[in-house]
Amino acid sequence: MSSLDFIMKPRAIAVVGASTKAHTIGSDIMKRLQEYAFQGPIYPINPKGGVIEGLPAYPSVLDVPGPIDLAVIVVNSNFVLQTIDQCHEKGIRGLIVISAGFKESGAKGAELEAALLQKVRDYDMRCVGPNCLGAVNTHPSVRMDACFAEALPLRGDIGFVSQSGALGGGILNILKDLNIGFAQFISIGNQADVNAETAMEYWENEEDVKQILLYMESIQNPANFRRLATRISKKKPILALKAGRSDAGASAASSHTGSLAGSDKAADALLRQSGVIREFSLQKLFATAKVFSNCPIPKGNRVAIVTNSGGPGIMATDAICELGMQMAPLSDSTKETLRSFLPAAASVKNPVDMIASAPLEHYRRTMETVLADDNVDMVIAIYLPFLGLKDIDVAKCMMQVREEHPDKPLLGVFMTTSDFFSTLSDMDVTVPFFMYAEEAVDAMARLDQQRRWIERPVGECVRYAVDRDAVVATFKQALAENRDQLTTRESMDVLKAYGIRICGSGFARTADEAVAIADAIGYPVVMKMTSKTTSHKTDVGGVRVNITSAQMLREQYADLIAKLEQKGLLDGLEGVIIQEMVKGSREMVCGIATDPQYGPMMMFGLGGVFIEVMKDVTFRLAPLTNVDAAEMVRSVKAFKLLEGARGTTPANIDQIEETLLRLSQLVTDFPFVDELDINPLMISEKNGEAIAVDGRIKVRLAEAQGALA
């Protein structure tokens, strides 16, 4: 038995704060529990006693004669703690604290909430809330509506968590119009105890919860969320609407990676790596939920279209191709069967256009024929009102075909009046219906996304042999000088110690030393300043490229010293790095940025001068698995350049992935690394090798000092 059963499957409920006053929360919750026919005893608790909603009221839970599993608390926040004490004394293990006035109200409320949580922990209870709407379980053996939304909940297969009580209440009120239902609903409110992860873990093995929906404004424990969601999403779909994605929430940072990162990119990376399907509107969230409620997971992404009008069929075809799915190649035998009953003017290629005169029987036989084709994984049937054919008759026909062919998704697009969809809300619907083809295709793509996630390997966090001691020594040197910024030389040394391919180089403090190194490397070379006070070298002319001779190197060195002296930047100069000049036109970027809530984020994408303009980059949270790294490299538009576009040498993709994994290991080993950029990661035209040409590392000083003390 789960501890959450005391809340979601209670045998008896006490409503503490039950009221005879109409339109109060204490009154409404009593009414909802009774109207929805809760299957156990309900005990109203009110200090005045009496009768409430036809039931005898008790001054305290301690006065109730029978056992109680759940207390729904609707009293002033000042009385909540003593109520919890009484619940503990009574043996109550489940709490839903509707009452507000906790951390959402300020510092004093936060203290009160901390005390509430401590009591819950000490008493081995579970608590939903405080400051929440309540909870619902529609299972026939429970029938609990312990919240104060106006409409009674509809039975369905969804487990829904809402961080917003008002939003959750609004959704419960429009379930009939959405034509979907819930198995269970939890409004987590301030989520002092029960949060989204608690609910997900509870629903993982709940048979009547077939899919999980989340409305979240924050994720309290990203690492735990990732661990749970990655596992659970392989068993059942998890859909999330994560609010708060505007740039206003992005953190300012000095690195390229940091400036392109933001809290929403971190959240997006977390959801993506966890197999969670993210939606950006309630409309899409419930459109997707409707598809998962009424469709199996497809075996592939080959789609067939059945229509009585060519235009919508073409639009659906465009949407299918744009979303990465395939138009199913119908077999010759399927086409022959279709020709046997469709008129000569019909098209039996995909999309199958039955033409406007198609009767109901043609819809039925065409859908059955196409569904039977082994080349077809999913089917969309499109209806436009022609020649007196009734929309509701076609819909009923579709649902009958769906019942006879349950193994493949079947979706309906009905470009008809809104009365049709109103009629559906009063029916037991087994096919998802949409007004527009693009909506249906978008929902179908989510089915395919879930299929690909289920098939996706779990991946592993690879560990490499590295020179960790050398990195510790480098960090300690910077910390001894109270620097949070490593020099270019130090940054490159760290990368090299972690096995990342850096270009051949040497460090020089004088022009003569620079020439000696260049002579050994071979011209042309690049000269870069390395400074303890200036991190962005290009801003001060600190990078000189294509130096082809010793004389030119001496001239460039003298010019660099003169310009730094002129700008008052000479004091921080360590010297210069002389590097081999890697020839290649493709410049990528790898990086690490730290989100204050989600932790280290890995970035990969198009680098060089294009990074801030094109922003062709992708993010994932560390630690990376080998599958994460492979997906990162392939998810940017610039991947086509890496494959060897226009005659260029194909990049060593495996080595790029390994570079990302080694960086992930670096930030896992040294969590105080705040920002890191390899920009550019140059792709050599000679052999496709990915070479770190420049590096920049910044640490969180106090954290680093504590870790290395």
The structure tokens 């480098």 sit at 474
Range in 148-162, 249-263, 382-396 the model is least confident about: 249-263
State yes or no: pLDDT of 246 exceeds 70: no
CATH architecture for the domain at 504-581: 2-Layer Sandwich (3.30)
* pLDDT for position 709: 86
**Which run of H or E residues covers position 72?**
strand 70-73
* pLDDT for position 135: 97
Question: Cα separation of 348 and 399, whole Å?
Answer: 23
Question: Cα separation of 70 and 13, whole Å?
Answer: 5
Write the pLDDT tens digit of every residue in 563-616. 998 988 888 899 999 998 888 889 999 999 998 889 999 999 998 777 777 789
- Asked if residues 136 and 185 have their Cβ atoms less than 8 Å apart, the reply is yes
* pLDDT for position 247: 52
Residue 621 CB contacts under 8 Å (≥ 6 apart), including other chains: 222, 226, 266, 269, 270, 273, 598, 599, 600, 601, 602
The CATH number of 5-209 is which of 3.40.605.10, 3.40.50.150, 1.10.10.10, 3.40.50.720? 3.40.50.720
Question: Cα separation of 386 and 258, whole Å?
Answer: 57
- Asked if residues 212 and 237 have their Cβ atoms less than 8 Å apart, the reply is yes
Q: How confident is the model at residue 164 (pLDDT cuts 50, 70, 90)?
A: confident
Range in 174-178, 206-210, 376-380, 385-389 the model is least confident about: 174-178
Helical residues (DSSP H) of 38-90, grouped into ranges: 80-90
Q: Roughly how many angstroms between the first and final C-alpha of the chain, as a whole number? A: 46
> Which CATH fold would you assign to the domain 586-708?
D-amino Acid Aminotransferase; Chain A, domain 1 (3.30.470)
* pLDDT for position 646: 77
Domain 302-455 has CATH 3.40.50.261: yes
Write the pLDDT tens digit of every residue in 44-74. 999 999 999 999 999 999 999 999 999 999 9
Question: Cα separation of 522 and 83, whole Å?
Answer: 80
State yes or no: pLDDT of 535 exceeds 80: no
Residue 114 CB contacts under 8 Å (≥ 6 apart), including other chains: none
Question: Cα separation of 108 and 101, whole Å?
Answer: 9
More confident residue, 610 or 697: 697
Determine the average pLDDT of the residues in 287-303: 97
Write the pLDDT tens digit of every residue in 615-672. 899 999 999 999 999 999 999 999 999 998 778 899 999 999 999 999 999 999 999 9
Question: Cα separation of 287 and 36, whole Å?
Answer: 26
- Residue 107 gets which letter from DSSP? H
State yes or no: pLDDT of 688 exceeds 90: yes
Spell out the domain ranges in the chain.
5-209, 302-455, 504-581, 586-708
Mean pLDDT of the chain: 93
Determine the average pLDDT of the residues in 77-85: 97
Residue 682 CB contacts under 8 Å (≥ 6 apart), including other chains: 503, 582, 584, 586, 587, 588, 690, 691, 692, 693
Question: Cα separation of 13 and 36, whole Å?
Answer: 14
Q: How confident is the model at residue 262 (pLDDT cuts 50, 70, 90)?
A: low
**Which run of H or E residues covers position 276?**
none
Write the pLDDT tens digit of every residue in 315-336. 999 999 999 999 999 999 999 9
586-708 and 302-455 share a CATH fold: no
**Which run of H or E residues covers position 103?**
none
- Asked if residues 195 and 220 have their Cβ atoms less than 8 Å apart, the reply is yes
Q: Give CA separation, 118 vs 67, 75, 83, 123, 191, in Å.
A: 24, 19, 14, 8, 14
3 state SS of 524: coil
State yes or no: pLDDT of 129 exceeds 90: yes
Count of residues making up the chain: 709
- Residue 153 gets which letter from DSSP? P
State yes or no: pLDDT of 259 exceeds 70: no
* pLDDT for position 1: 84
Write the pLDDT tens digit of every residue in 445-484. 999 999 999 999 999 999 999 999 999 999 999 999 999 9
3 state SS of 41: coil
- Buried b / exposed e across 494-524, counting CB within 10 Å, b at 16+? bbbbbbbbbbebbbbeebebbbebbeebeeb
* pLDDT for position 520: 93
